[in-house]
Structure 1
């Protein structure tokens, strides 16, 4: 981590403050000792003179630094922890969001100073009462910022992918979302510390707090309450030192908080902790469909007897609605084991919604009908799906840059999906082997997604989907963001691996010539409706011609 010059200055100043607070009281006398004349000027014995009752100002300044550090640190830890944890929960959980966001809004409109004075009047103004009051009143502002960030982040593909392998809420919050909000948490920590120092000094100056504790604010209160302070030169050593100390700390924290860091803020060490998964239930695989299914256009490319194979994907009377709007109208089809089926159609026709629905990424309340993958019912009236995602079936998202978590290494994301290997060595060997199969080296394991090109990321995503050798693979335009040459290489690689492992592939694509070349069946969607017969044949012929002409 490379620090800017201003950050180095801030850390140096703050380090001096911490050293004085920790070790200064060990080498100075008690701040409450009265052993000198009143209002003495600075001398060798009393570096900052004495106050109106004969106490050593330097000793009080040093002990006050410890009080400021203690109160500031405790308030900051409480406030930052509440902002980060409640912001994560509010942004991620729809059930908790109204409650937590409403509580934050209520605290934001309440007058904080009035609440502090009320609490102090009823509790006696002890140190811990002050810490808890400040900590519990200063979290809502940054909590709402963190909540807004999480609301956006949880819709990203890498979070959806983490949910697919049944990652627990706590695991996703800590490993996938918390790293993104670390800059906010760091800024919140620094600003809270700075605010706590200023608020503690202000409240002590007003007489709120523990009167038996020495603090910089208490020194200012004592100085301003004495008329002798301004009649003589005593203000120079009674007011200036604590005021400069407060300014010194706030400037140091401002320099630390406002400077920017360069370089990669994330460690390259792999985190190999596994998330817990829902236990897999045994289920008999059905070999056929009792009702006749709607057949696609048989092209007879590489599976002559596809109709004799059992069905890997079964869709019956599937309808998808969002509110009152229908996205997919009732549709039925089957995808035979070991076959390649392409799902084509114009943009907005419902292809991606269809693929996501088949894989279980659409809310249950929006789906009517039956969807089965390898004998597992995907929608079971609220009960957990028995299909092991990334093991029984895998999904390749459209944009590889959105599919990978940008703050986790490629290796970390491989380990999250791997369920067939138990030891660390087995996982690493299997992941490296999968990367080698897609023409990537083992060094990719330690790289972050931003360090790979688009073609390399697409290959890594294919390797990620194939590492567990799933029976069913759903690929949503896996080459859509690539240039034509790389697109063809990645496309051929995907098809070759599917055939090599005898997998079932449901491919969503706009590349009609490629679909005609590699597919056993083609399903055409138009405005959420499956078209067949002559209309379908006309669409495929026209699409093939236009693609060759303009593609």
Structure 2
């Protein structure tokens, strides 16, 4: 037998899922995201990893700058590597970096926002001054400097994006916590002797979790675009294929002047479609969390 509390939570979750699926933008975004996620997970089945190796591609007889009509399905690049293999395996890195960096961003931002908003006082002042410092410093130059100093690897890129992207989340969460902690059920818990950890766990976090989830889905496209930008600037992992690295190679090998559209168009469209899908999902979740946004 489930408790009444569990039944209410289950009914609430079901209601949110039904409302989300009825929203056309959210439904389209979710379907697109599932397709790209399935492609990234099934990369070993969809594209042979040997297509990423220039030596193996040469042995296989792949032409240089081969068009899709001569080397199915997306042609080859200047090193005779399969563009399809780079696109499929690159989706893994781009999505993984975007999701992992968002986890770091949301974790740090939530921790700072909840701590500053709930405890207030001098601690709030110190944390907000640190947050404002990160907001004042230009985001992209700071990310470029950190990526250059730390080195070119996937984990360093995740760390750089996470460390430089959390301030907006912290301010958003802090504002919500300041509102929630003034409500009567929080005062009632304090009067009954509840500890700060209990209040944060049972009252504060459940009331800000919807906002955090909506903000997370909107932070993923920013992380993906940042990874693409850093890889395009040559600061990504040189040993791993990613959509940003494909655009970097296409730019420096003059794929546009060669009219090799099959090299730069797939990663560009992939980034555009995935970012749009996450944005649609995030906007739908924001409307579910605050129905007043649906009228705008």
- The match for 2:262 among 219, 237, 246 is 237
TM-score, with length taken from structure 2: 0.84
Shift of 1:232: 3.2
Shift of 1:175: 1.3
Show the counterpart of 1:337: none
Taking the aligned partners of 1:44 and 1:18, their CA distance within structure 2 comes to: 28
Give runs of aligned pairs for residues 331-410 of structure 1, distance below 5 A.
none
1:22 and 2:47 aligned: no
Taking the aligned partners of 2:222 and 2:95, their CA distance within structure 1 comes to: 12
Shift of 1:118: 1.9
Taking the aligned partners of 2:77 and 2:226, their CA distance within structure 1 comes to: 24
2:74–2:84: 8 Å Cα contact kept in structure 1?
Answer: yes
Distance change in 2, residues 1:19/1:125 (3 Å):
same
1:142–1:188: 8 Å Cα contact kept in structure 2?
Answer: yes
1:250 and 2:275 aligned: yes
1:92 and 2:112 aligned: no
Question: Any gaps of 5 or more consecutive residues in structure 2?
Answer: 1-15, 291-296
Show the counterpart of 2:68: 42
Shift of 1:98: 1.5
1:204 and 2:236 aligned: no
1:79 and 2:125 aligned: no
Taking the aligned partners of 2:104 and 2:288, their CA distance within structure 1 comes to: 29
| 1:285-343 C-alpha deviation (Å, 9 max, x unpaired) | xxxxxxxxxxxxxxxxxxxxxxxxxxxxxxxxxxxxxxxxxxxxxxxxxxxxxxxxxxx
Distance change in 2, residues 1:232/1:194 (3 Å):
same
| 1:339-388 C-alpha deviation (Å, 9 max, x unpaired) | xxxxxxxxxxxxxxxxxxxxxxxxxxxxxxxxxxxxxxxxxxxxxxxxxx
Taking the aligned partners of 2:134 and 2:147, their CA distance within structure 1 comes to: 18
1:163 and 2:190 aligned: yes
- Decide which structure has greater strand share: 1
- The match for 1:32 among 34, 48, 52 is 52
Show the counterpart of 1:10: 29
The structure showing larger relative contact order (alpha-carbon pairs under 8 Å, at least 6 residues apart) is 2
Shift of 1:120: 2.2
Distance change in 2, residues 1:260/1:94 (3 Å):
closer
Give runs of aligned pairs for residues 109-508 of structure 1, distance below 5 A.
109-227=136-254, 229-234=255-260, 236-259=261-284
Shift of 1:66: 0.2
Shift of 1:44: 7.7
2:33–2:278: 8 Å Cα contact kept in structure 1?
Answer: yes
Show the counterpart of 1:105: 132
Shift of 1:262: 8.3
Question: Any gaps of 5 or more consecutive residues in structure 1?
Answer: 266-551
Show the counterpart of 1:271: none
1:25–1:59: 8 Å Cα contact kept in structure 2?
Answer: no
- Decide which structure has greater helix share: 2
2:135–2:167: 8 Å Cα contact kept in structure 1?
Answer: yes
Shift of 1:45: 5.0
Taking the aligned partners of 2:151 and 2:25, their CA distance within structure 1 comes to: 41
SS in 1 for 2:42: helix
Taking the aligned partners of 2:256 and 2:162, their CA distance within structure 1 comes to: 36
Show the counterpart of 2:79: 53
1:119–1:125: 8 Å Cα contact kept in structure 2?
Answer: no
Shift of 1:209: 1.6
| 1:16-60 C-alpha deviation (Å, 9 max, x unpaired) | 111011112343112422321101111485300000110000000
Following TM superposition, where does structure 1 have runs of at least 4 consecutive aligned residues deviating by more than 6 angstroms? 261-265
Show the counterpart of 1:489: none
TM-score, with length taken from structure 1: 0.46
Shift of 1:200: 0.6
2:114–2:174: 8 Å Cα contact kept in structure 1?
Answer: yes
Taking the aligned partners of 1:25 and 1:170, their CA distance within structure 2 comes to: 45
Taking the aligned partners of 2:117 and 2:288, their CA distance within structure 1 comes to: 28
Distance change in 2, residues 1:43/1:179 (3 Å):
same
| 1:401-446 C-alpha deviation (Å, 9 max, x unpaired) | xxxxxxxxxxxxxxxxxxxxxxxxxxxxxxxxxxxxxxxxxxxxxx
CA-atom RMSD in angstroms: 1.9
Taking the aligned partners of 2:214 and 2:180, their CA distance within structure 1 comes to: 19
1:120–1:129: 8 Å Cα contact kept in structure 2?
Answer: yes
